Structure formats: structure tokens, C-alpha cells
């Protein structure tokens, strides 16, 4: 009684899978870009912001890092309409991802910022650099360079966690797979194909991260 693989109905649905994969890539990239900005701002606020701002940022980070992602998604998608904000599944998904990755990445970047030796900053001051220049060139860049591997693994996790978004009917890759699966009953085959696609997306992102690392963070600094 061998298991009969039925890949035909799954492969026949390739336009759907492609569409889902594309949304997964879009959501991940957008969430990484916006999330990185949120994270840098939060890290800056946490390390050198005024006390009230620090408290707010701390609260945000603790909330996000200590609640399940699925609950955060449900809150944003099902909860916000009660406050009068009705988001499409795609926008709610993006907001949830940014909300989530922003907090995690903020902690990673903060650790990098705190690792910058005090003397380095004093050297910048002694050279007469403006505070913004000091932050950009002397604090942030080394901090990002030092934490880049941790950041990329966080971003990879982010890409994989988009699979949870099917719960709010965002039609990303896993959601499409669930649709195909419920229609064709070839669940094992669908998830096998989808696993391969996720891995391909990961490889793509991995190459992208390596490129960024080489361009932006390699010594000697430009």
C-alpha cells in the first residue's frame, strides 16, 4: 500500500503559488525596510532619548516580545475596526509584521549601539563632528555592522512568520497552499512544494543580505 503522490493538481495551480510567493516576498521586504527604520528610531530612543520616551518604547518592546505573533495579528485585524480603523488583510498583515519585527530588531540594534566604545564617540566630539554625524558614522554604522548577522536571522524569521498571516485571509504563500490543499486533498504534496518555495525565497534573501553586507559594511569603510 504505497503512498500515491499526486503532484499534478498542485503543479497545475502554479499561478496561485506564484502569486502567494510574490506577496510573501513583498510583505517581507516592506516589513524589513519599514521595520528597520522603526527599530533604529526605537534603539536611539532607548539609548539616548528622554525618560518618558524610553518608558513608552520599553513598553512597546516588552508587549511585542512577550505576546504571540498570532495574537498580535488578530488584535490588529479584528480589534482595530472596533476603534474605527478598518485595514485590508494585506495592510493589516504589513502593519503586524512591522509592529513585530520593529521591536525585536530594536533590541538587536540597541545591543550594537551599546557595544560602541565610549572613547570612539569622544573622539568624534573631539574632531568637531555634529551629533547627527557622530550617530550616523560612529555609532549606527558599527552597530549595524556588528549586529548584521543577528538582524538577518531575525529578518529570515520574519519571512517565515508571514505564513501565519493566512489566519486573516492575506493570500500569501501558505494561505494559497491551504486553499489548494482543501481543494485537491493533496496536502503533503502541496506543503512539500511550498517548503521548496520558502527555501528558495530564503536563498534569495540570503544572497541579498550577503550583498548588502559586502557593499555597506566591509572594511575599509568608505
Partner 1 sequence: MTKLTRRTFGVATGALMLAMLAGSTVPASAQTLDSVKQAGKIRVGMLVDVPPFGLMSTTGQPEGFDADIAAMLAEYLGVELELVPVTGPNRIPYLLTGQVDVLAAALGITEERSKQIQFSQPYSGLGAIILAPVDMEVSSFDDLADRSVGLPRGGSQDPVVTSSALPSTQIQRYDDDAGAVQALLSNQVDSLAVATVLVPQIEQMAPGRYDTKFLLYSQVQGIGMRPGEADLLEQVDAFIAQARAEGKLEELYEKWPGTRPADQQD
Residues that bind partner 1 (CB under 8 A): 77-79, 81-82, 86, 89, 166-169, 175, 178-179, 181-183, 185
CB 195, min distance to partner 1, A: 19
What angle, 0 to 180 degrees and rounded to 10, lies between the N-to-C axes of helices 14-48 and 141-161?
A: 140
- Cα of 157 vs its chain's centroid, Å: 7
The answer to whether 47 and 58 are in contact (CB under 8 A) is: no
Nearer to partner 1, 85 or 204 (CB): 85
Tell me if the bond preceding 50 is cis, omega within 30° of 0. no
Find, among 67, 33, 61, the residue nearest to 47 by Cα.
61
CB 52, min distance to partner 1, A: 33
CB 144, min distance to partner 1, A: 37
CB 92, min distance to partner 1, A: 8
Nearer to partner 1, 65 or 86 (CB): 86
Nearer to partner 1, 20 or 124 (CB): 20
Alpha-carbon gap, residue 168 to 70, rounded angstroms? 10
Positive or negative: CA dihedral 201, 173, 25, 92 = negative
Nearer to partner 1, 90 or 112 (CB): 90
Alpha-carbon gap, residue 27 to 158, rounded angstroms? 10
User: Which cell numbers hold the place of 181?
Assistant: 490543499
- CB-based burial label for 187 (10 Å; 0-12, 13-18, 19+): middle
Nearer to partner 1, 78 or 202 (CB): 78
CB 70, min distance to partner 1, A: 10
Find, among 40, 32, 41, 71, the residue nearest to 156 by Cα.
32
CB 205, min distance to partner 1, A: 26
Alpha-carbon gap, residue 138 to 108, rounded angstroms? 17
Nearer to partner 1, 12 or 207 (CB): 12
Amino acid at each position: 500500500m504505497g503512498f500515491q503522490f499526486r503532484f499534478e493538481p498542485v503543479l497545475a495551480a502554479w499561478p496561485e503559488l506564484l502569486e502567494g510567493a510574490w506577496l510573501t516576498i513583498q510583505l517581507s521586504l516592506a516589513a524589513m525596510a519599514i521595520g528597520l527604520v522603526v527599530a533604529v528610531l526605537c534603539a536611539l530612543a532607548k539609548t539616548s532619548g528622554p525618560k518618558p520616551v524610553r518608558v513608552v518604547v520599553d513598553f512597546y518592546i516588552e508587549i511585542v516580545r512577550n505576546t504571540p505573533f498570532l495574537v498580535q495579528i488578530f488584535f490588529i485585524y479584528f480589534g482595530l475596526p472596533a476603534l474605527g480603523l478598518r485595514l485590508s488583510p494585506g495592510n493589516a498583515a504589513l502593519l503586524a509584521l512591522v509592529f513585530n519585527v520593529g521591536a525585536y530588531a530594536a533590541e538587536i540594534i540597541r545591543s550594537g549601539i551599546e557595544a560602541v566604545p565610549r572613547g570612539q564617540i569622544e573622539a568624534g566630539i573631539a574632531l568637531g563632528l555634529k551629533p547627527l554625524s557622530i550617530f550616523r558614522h560612529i555609532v549606527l554604522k558599527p552597530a549595524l555592522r556588528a549586529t548584521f548577522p543577528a538582524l538577518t536571522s531575525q529578518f529570515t524569521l520574519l519571512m517565515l512568520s508571514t505564513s501565519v498571516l493566512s489566519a486573516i485571509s492575506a493570500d500569501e504563500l501558505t494561505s494559497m497552499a491551504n486553499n489548494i490543499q482543501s481543494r485537491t486533498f493533496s496536502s503533503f504534496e502541496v506543503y512539500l512544494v511550498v517548503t521548496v518555495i520558502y527555501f528558495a525565497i530564503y536563498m534569495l534573501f540570503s544572497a541579498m543580505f550577503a550583498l548588502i553586507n559586502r557593499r555597506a559594511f566591509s572594511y575599509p569603510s568608505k
